[in-house]
A and B are shown apart, each in its own frame.
Chain A
Amino acid sequence: MSSTELRRTALDATHRALGATMTDFAGWDMPLRYDSERDEHVAVRTRAGLFDLSHMGEITVTGPQAADLLNYALVGNIGSVKPGRARYTMICREDGGILDDLIVYRLGEAEAASSHYMVVANASNAQVVLDALTERAAGFDAEVRDDRDAYALLAVQGPESPAIVKSLTDADLDGLKYYAGLPGTVAGVPALIARTGYTGEDGFELFVKPEHAVELWQALTEAGEGAGLVPCGLSCRDTLRLEAGMPLYGHELTTELTPFDAGLGRVVKFEKEGDFVGRAALTEAASRAEQNPPRVLVGLVAEGRRVPRAGYRVVAGGEVIGEVTSGAPSPTLGKPIAMAYVDPAHAVPGTEGVGVDIRGSHEPYEVVALPFYKRQK
């Protein structure tokens, strides 16, 4: 194994001490699981889980025209994001193809002359996003800064996470809404506390300096001990987001698809002021999608026990009618589940006769609406 070239997070020694199985994820040596990924999944659904997500790519955008730059470079209306709030958005190519999906956090004060945003990209796309933002910044009075090494990112997810984080901070967590973030101190460590996540549960993502990561991890571990918090790897993160119907870049989202093809046309804000990269192509894609509906992203639930995987064909009446983008055994449903793009004629929940070609055998699947799992609030 050529693990020498892999990047390691500030928590690397902690993961090894915990006996984690590590994996190469987008060039990072990351914990896949510590023990049973199913137990980790269940812990997040019922108690709490602690994740190291330091591979995520942070890019800081500042300056008097930071909002204008982001409005031009991304498909969302970033100018409407209030200080302390976050927005799910995408960055597209000129031809409308999705380069990445992103969360943009607006930091700083409303009245400040220079605004301040943090763009969080997927690890696999961070360089692409950084390059695109840098290129698109030409002519704007704004600075794009590579802050990938400036942050470690720890996530606490699950129904017990508010109580656990609250025990370590004076920050007003009750006032912190979903998709909001505020600067604060957690266990004595300065942090950007964000109420975001990728699990379908309530939870927090804590952006801290790498030199504080181990200290914060240990404090969270101790604070969560009584509540049943366990360390969690990327394997359960994938099954958690799949149950929650959340797309993963490289699976549900690719450069071959526009947001309209992915059923996420709502993230494209044509009504915002000024031009933005991809506007013309996306306008066309939107009307194309209306006149001639593309394949629809649906959920599939297995009747048997064999697990569909990305790339497997979805079939009906002997014809290929779609393709699986993600699949896994669902710990919550106790059955294999998948997300798949299928022809609109077969996309209605309850459609009969749909199967997945699992290595030559057509296994029956039920078409369901996404998500598979929604937490009770």
Chain B
Amino acid sequence: MSNPQQLRYSKEHEWLSAAEDGASTVGITEHAANALGDVVFVQLPEVGDSVTAGETCGELESTKSVSDLYSPVSGEVTEVNEDVVNDPSLVNSAPFEGGWLFKVRITDEPADLLSADEYTAFTAG
């Protein structure tokens, strides 16, 4: 399992892309998707919602459990991935690509986001 170098990561296992047209993309990592098992339901924030770094903004449901989705940064949601709502298995099959969750215009971000190597070490521990 390799975590893309160009992304940054939270300790709650979300990834965050660099801003493109002012908004960054958020998803959960392959490590998190594997730990959850088959994701069957995804509840995302709505476009226009304010999200706060480290606070819950949705949920992911798998066969065995339900898990909160945490926003890795603070900001305003500009887009949500309707494809993943309709087909939650995208979270498992393509966590870093088609399984992205939402886009956010960042107003504030925590200082402790991890690099790919740091996140890899974090999950190995």
Contact = CB atoms under 8 A, between A and B. Distances in A.
Interface of A: 21, 32-33, 36-38, 235, 239, 305-307, 309, 328-329, 336, 359
Of the candidates B37, B63, B64, B65, the one having the most CB atoms from chain A within 10 angstroms of its own CB is B63
Which interface residue of B41, B61, B64, B92 has the most chain A CB atoms within 10 A? B64
A307 B34 CA distance: 19
Given A21-B34, A329-B61, 6 more contacts: A33-B37, A36-B37, A36-B38, A37-B37, A235-B37, A306-B61
Contacts of A36: 37-38, 92
B41 A38 contact: no
Contacts of A32: 37, 64
B40 interface: yes
B47 interface: no
Closest 9 CB pairs of A and B: A329-B40, A305-B41, A38-B38, A307-B61, A37-B63, A36-B38, A37-B37, A37-B38, A328-B63
Interface string B56-84: 00000101111000000000000000000
Nearest to B59: A359
A306 B34 contact: no
24 contacts: A21-B34, A21-B37, A32-B37, A32-B64, A36-B37, A36-B38, A36-B92, A37-B37, A37-B38, A38-B63, A235-B37, A235-B63, A235-B64, A239-B63, A306-B61, A307-B41, A307-B66, A328-B64, A329-B40, A329-B41, A329-B61, A329-B63, A336-B40, A359-B66
A307 B40 contact: yes
Nearest to B35: A21
Contacts of B37: 21, 32-33, 36-37, 235
Interface in B1-57: 34, 37-38, 40-41
Contacts of A306: 41, 61
A359 B64 CA distance: 16
A328 B66 CA distance: 11
Contacts of B64: 32, 235, 328
B37 to A, nearest CB: 6
Contact of B40 (A21, A235, A305, A309): A305
Contacts, number: 37
B99 to A, nearest CB: 14
A36 B64 CA distance: 12
Nearest to B38: A38
Contacts of A328: 63-64
A263 to B, nearest CB: 26
Contacts of A307: 40-41, 61, 66
A62 B40 CA distance: 48
Nearest to A328: B63
A4 to B, nearest CB: 17
A33 to B, nearest CB: 6
A37 B41 CA distance: 15
A301 to B, nearest CB: 15
Contacts of A235: 37, 63-64
A307 B60 CA distance: 11
A340 to B, nearest CB: 17
A307 B62 CA distance: 9
B61 to A, nearest CB: 5
Nearest to B65: A309
A328 B63 CA distance: 6
Contacts of B63: 37-38, 235, 239, 328-329
B89 to A, nearest CB: 8
Contacts of B61: 305-307, 329
A328 B37 CA distance: 13
Contacts of B38: 36-38, 329
A309 B61 CA distance: 11
A248 to B, nearest CB: 13
B81 to A, nearest CB: 16
